[in-house]
Structure 1
Amino acid sequence: MNKEILTDDTKKLIKRLDPALTFIPFISIMVLCALFIKSPQGSAVVLEHIRSFLSDSLSAFYILVGFGAFLVSLYIAFSKYGHIKLGNYEKPQFSFFAWGSMMFTAGLAADILFYSICEWILYAKESRISDLGDMQTWASTYPLFHWGPIPWSFYLILACAFGFMLHVKKCKRQRYSEACRPIIGKSADGLLGRLIDLTAVFALIAGTSTTFSLATPLLSSAVSRIFKIAQSSTLTVLLLVIICIIYTVCAYFGLKGVEIMASSCTYIFFILLLYILIGGGKTRYIIETGISSIGTLADNFITLATYTDSSRQNGFVQSWTVFYWAYWIVWCVATPFFIGSISRGRTLKQTVLGGYIFGLSGTFTSFIILGNYGLGLEILDNVNITGFYEKTQDIYKTILFIFDKLPFTNIALILLILAMIAFYATTFDSLTIVAASYSYNDLNFDEIPDKRVKLFWAVLLILFPIALIFSGKSMENLQTVSIIAAFPVGIILILIVAGFFKDASSYLKNISDSSDISKKSNKQS
């Protein structure tokens, strides 16, 4: 009897799922993976040509989308749209700290730790930095710009659009195509809508794989150093499996599991920062350089946001700023859905400003402490960190070289390991929930995806990075694929925002008309 019930239940679930959006992106990614493994050099050449075209010829597109997103986020917050409440609930679904922790951790993954430590090293010797001034000022300022208001605005404007779609319109199709419906109309149900959704899911898989490929080698290196284990592909795979198990368990138990993991991640993260801030012996330098870099960013924000290097004197904006904007745009496929879904009970103004408060405070604190510690070693103690990197061409060894300068290095590395695992788990359990929602033909705004679907996506999101570990050059190729995927996603982003304003304007007009009718009725009575 139980078997029959289970079978009927499974059949009902299958009928609710969209097989195309579930399997086509996966098959496409695996085909690309096979091509990368078979011909890594040939694939790299083709992808690099495409990437060069997008980052060089179309760099103005990314710059305009970035600056425009920031301006739109402020307009949403401080205009009539900011008063729109996401849902008819008296109280927010989560506490302010839990809500902010989930937003911060879901939006960054372990990349924040990786880049916080090393980004200043990667372009400290760039001519753009020397042209602007000294390395201390600009190598500490540019990371705050690349992880500051503009990238977070990508998340927040879409979080408003998706939150409005989920909690106000109560749409049952939680997809990009549905968010574009106010602009493309019935085409959302046709080929155009299908292409939009397939692009989104493809970008999601490519983006998550990029994140794993960036920071996992650092995690593996730290574990190897602590436990005296030889660093190998097997060790990296084992770590990915452990992370998969953690975030699968969290995602299996829904948003409550995500909330607990996000809070734990935040605590571990700030313990690591405090250890380096206080124990590293560079407290004064870190704080003062951080204050100066925030001031430099504020003073030069518009200039940095609109800098295009039209004469191509240094190529910095094409190599770095365009790369980061594209990288954040790719992550817009899932993270804003998650932020929008957990913002029920809050206004759009609270969503935007809360996102900036938690997002910027977290990223700025991380880059100021982790980045300026290494910069302080270079500037004050004459530790040739940039020279070490130029000599080894290994950023992961360079990061461990920095950690070797801390007292009780192993304690710092253990905190780094725990923080990275927690970040990975928190980010990917939230992505699992969003990806699982994408697989449904329709899903109520307050309905949680079936646990079996979440389990499928939890395993799927980890399989591709594991396969890529053994493909060498293919990891770099996939990073390029995620940058390429950002271009169509950027166009879709514009459609979604336009659709939001169209729907939100109609919503506010209807409320206003209803209010006028109510007032007239009261007067007549």
Structure 2
Amino acid sequence: MKKGIMDWPTFLGAFILLLLVTIPLVLFPEKGAEYVNQANTFVTTNFGVLYLLVGLGIFFFLIYVAFSDNGRVKLGDAGEKPEFNNFSWAGMLFCAGIGSSILYWGTIEWAYYYQGPPFGVEPGTQEAIAWASTYGIFHWGPIAWSIYTLPALPMAYFYYVRKKPVLKVSEATRPLIGNLASGPVGTAIDILFMFGLLGGAGTTLALGTPMIAEGINELTGIPVNMVMKTAILAIVTLIFAISAYSGLKKGIKVLSDLNLWLSIFLLAFVFMFGPTRFMAETTTNSIGLLLDNFFHMSTWTEPYNALGPYEQTSFPESWTVFYWAWWLVYAPFVGLFVAKISRGRSIRQMILGTIIYGTIGSILFFGIIGNYGLHMQLTGEFDVINVLNEEGAPKAIIEIIGQLPMAWFMIFIFTILAIIFLATTFDSSSYILASVVQKEVEDEPLRWNRLFWAFALCLMPLVLMFLGGLGTLQTAAIVGGFPLLFIMVMLAWSFMRASSEDIRASEHYEPKTFTLNYKKIVQRLKRKKKKEQQQKGPIDAHFEDEEKDKDHPDEKKD
């Protein structure tokens, strides 16, 4: 192990910040929850338009990059093949980006829109039903995966093209903020990202644990209580700790592959033995409705309802703005992870693959399992809405799965899948948290470091789960993630500046995908600079050298 490999200011800063937020919530849960909710309302209400515009802007920016010269750059050396095949790659990025939340919201989200539809539509009507099966796909669709993909661009570029063995958000902003990336500003950016991820993990736990508990209750009859939830958390922690300790290829890849196969089995079973025609037609109709109204849904702010005699539903703030804020909190983590597993691919392949695979996966879950529950409601075979309102979402979700043939077996598969989904999200999270608190990551983060963050990820949520404050931590993370709106813009700008400069300085392009040799580019620029200096006086050359050292500190190292 190299001496001084750990970035202790970032390591301790993130942990201390989490304690500073968590301890007051433990000591004063009601007052803490009140303040956090007020802050959340302030951010989503006053800056909702900003979230919507940034989400849409990121989507179009990535489409532009994918089909530009920047998108043709290969992440790695010439002739290098992708590190993982398409199946494993798609599985890892989907499992890291979605987790058990897709099982939760994919099954039940339509029921909330059915009762409180957008655009002033009357609840329970045919129009409300159409929007109910469409809005979930929108919230988990191309814009969500675009937000996830953006941070991967500069991180993958610096790691695989410029060969900087650093996986940090701050390092990805270096072309823009220069040496500030190595000081307190860079540390603050990394700590902010880690805090958002730790809080976001609390969200996943808040949704996943009660759902798994209801599944176990249905299978065994054991009552849902704190002991069961703690046991579930302990099992999940053990799984993802072993996976994170084993590393990317032996642990996370294996778990993600298993997760993907179980997901395919679950979706295929529901599609074959459920109302196949209804699910196919409703999903197709939803995709058409989404494509027809994509811009309207992406920019709807409900502006007139606050002024006139119309009812204020707060739908955009409660759903779309909240989702965009949630994706933003997770984006640097998913971006870092996507960057780490995308060696050997072009930037275009990474962008389009992440957006397309991620969106298709979400469409399948919402289109099959979600529409299966909707069909139960519409036909009167099972009153999902009543169970949701009376007994809660986790119970309603398990009851929907219980309507399938071979109910006991399918609930078992669903519960196991939820456990593995939760574990895959957490092992990916602990892997990335460990990477961020190291100054260098040559191959993988240190094992003890990965293991530490595996347990740190569950420690705080466990304490808050006992106190009922998990939702407050989630909201606090989203509020704390507000600056990520501006960091995302910095990441996009940083990538374009660095990659465009390198492309211009490169000697040649290959026909389709080209490899940039950053060391050769630096050497070429130095030779060019030397010739220019020889043609100028020694005083001019001296001042230009000083300017170069300020603007390009890394080149001086090379």
TM-score computed with the length of structure 1 as normaliser = 0.92
Q: Does 1:20 align with 2:20?
A: no
Residue 36 of structure 1 aligns to a residue in which SS?
helix
Which amino acid in structure 1 is aligned with residue 346 of structure 2? T
* Correspondence 1:163-202 to 2 at 5 A: 163-202=156-195
* Counterpart among 83, 95, 114 of residue 93 in structure 1: 83
Is 1:204 paired with 2:197?
A: yes
The CA deviation string for residues 368-415 of structure 1, in whole angstroms up to 9 with x for no partner, is 0110001111112364322332334x1112223323322222111111
Q: How far did 1:276 drift?
A: 1.8
Equivalence map 1:338-487=2 (5 Å): 338-381=337-380, 383-392=382-391, 394-444=392-442, 447-472=443-468, 474-487=469-482
How much does 1:127 deviate? 4.6
CA RMSD of superposed structures (Å): 1.9
List per-residue Cα deviations over 1:315-354 (Å, max 9, x = no partner).
1100100110011111112111110111111111111111
Distance between the aligned counterparts of 2:57 and 2:240, measured in 1?
Answer: 34
Deviations 1:417-453 (A, max 9, x none): 1111121222222222111111112333xx2111111
Distance 1:406 1:18, change over 3 A: same
Aligned mates of 1:89, 1:436 — CA distance in 2: 29
1:111 paired residue number: 101
Report which of the two structures shows the higher radius of gyration computed on alpha carbons.
2
More displaced 10-residue stretch of structure 1: 322-331 or 16-25: 16-25
Which residue does 2:47 correspond to in 1?
Answer: 58
Q: Find the aligned partners of 1:127 and 1:290 in 2 and give their Cα distance.
A: 18
> Offset of 1:93 from its aligned partner?
0.9
The equivalent position to 2:25 in structure 1, one of 36, 50, 53, is: 36
1:173 positional shift: 2.7
- CA distance in 2: counterparts of 1:198 and 1:172, whole angstroms: 19
Does structure 1 residue 489 correspond to structure 2 residue 484?
Answer: yes
* Structure 2 residue runs without a partner (length 5+): 307-311, 511-520, 525-558
Q: Are 1:249 and 2:242 an aligned pair?
A: yes
**Matching of residue 268 in structure 1 with residue 268 in structure 2:** no
Q: Greater CA deviation, 335-344 or 421-430? A: 421-430
Alpha carbons 1:389, 1:398 under 8 Å: kept: yes
Q: Could you tell me whether the CA contact under 8 Å between 1:129 and 1:139 is conserved in 2?
A: no
C-alpha contact (below 8 Å) 2:121/2:128 kept by paired residues: no
Task: State the shift of 1:178 in Å.
Answer: 0.9
Distance apart, 1:130 and its partner CA: 5.3
Q: Contact 2:55–2:324 at 8 Å: present in 1 too?
A: yes
Which of 479, 494, 498 is the matching residue for 2:493?
498
- 8 A Cα contact 2:118 2:131, kept in partner: no
Pick one of 261, 272, 275 that aligns with 1:278: 272
Choose the corresponding residue for 1:240, options 228, 233, 241. 233
Aligned to 1:523: none
Q: Which amino acid aligns with 2:109?
A: E
CA distance in 1, matches of 2:467, 2:263: 32
CA distance in 2, matches of 1:49, 1:289: 38
The code of the aligned residue for 2:118 comes to R
What amino acid does structure 1 have at the position aligned with 2:461? P
The 1:514/1:230 distance shift into structure 2, 3 A limit, reads closer
Local SS of the residue matching 2:177 = helix
CA contact (8 A) 1:136 1:379 kept: no
Task: Read off the aligned partner of 2:75 and give its amino acid letter.
Answer: L
Give the corresponding residue for 2:538: none
Unaligned runs of 5+ in 1: 1-8, 519-525
Q: 2:154 is matched with which residue?
A: 161
Which residue identity is paired with 2:459? L
1:93-124 deviations in whole A, cap 9, x for unaligned?
Answer: 11111111111111111001110011111232
**CA distance in 2: counterparts of 1:30 and 1:404, whole angstroms:** 40
Instruction: Report the Cα offset of residue 511 of structure 1.
Output: 1.0
Task: Quote the residue 2:553 is aligned against.
Answer: none
Structure 1 stretch 166-175 or stretch 62-71: which is displaced more? 166-175
Partner AA of 2:300 in structure 1:
Y
In 2: Cα distance, 1:31 partner to 1:84 partner: 43
**One of 128, 143, 146 as aligned partner of 2:118:** 128
Q: 1:224 to 1:383 in 2, by over 3 A?
A: closer
Mark the CA change 1:389 to 1:156 in structure 2 (over 3 Å): closer, same or farther: same
**8 Å Cα contact 1:276-1:369 kept in structure 2:** yes
In structure 2, give the amino acid aligned to 1:324: Y
Q: 1:165 to 1:382 in 2, by over 3 A?
A: same
SS in 1 for 2:483: helix
Q: Quick one: distance in 1 between partners of 2:390 and 2:94?
A: 35
Cα deviation code 1:172-220 (max 9, x no counterpart): 3321111111111121122221211111111111111111112211011
Please give the secondary structure, in 2, of the residue aligned with 1:369: helix
Task: Note the C-alpha offset of 1:466.
Answer: 1.3
Deviation at 1:32, TM superposition (A): 2.3
Query: Secondary structure of the equivalent of 1:332?
Result: helix
Contact 1:174–1:438, Cα closer than 8 Å, also in 2:
yes
Output the amino acid matched with 1:131: V
- Helix, strand or coil at the partner of 1:131: coil
The 8 Å contact of residues 244 and 462 in structure 1, kept in 2 or not, is answered as yes
| Contact 2:266–2:414 (CA under 8 A) maintained in structure 1 | yes
Paired residue type of 1:452 = W
Give, in whole Å, the separation in 1 of the partners of 2:96 and 2:21.
Answer: 27
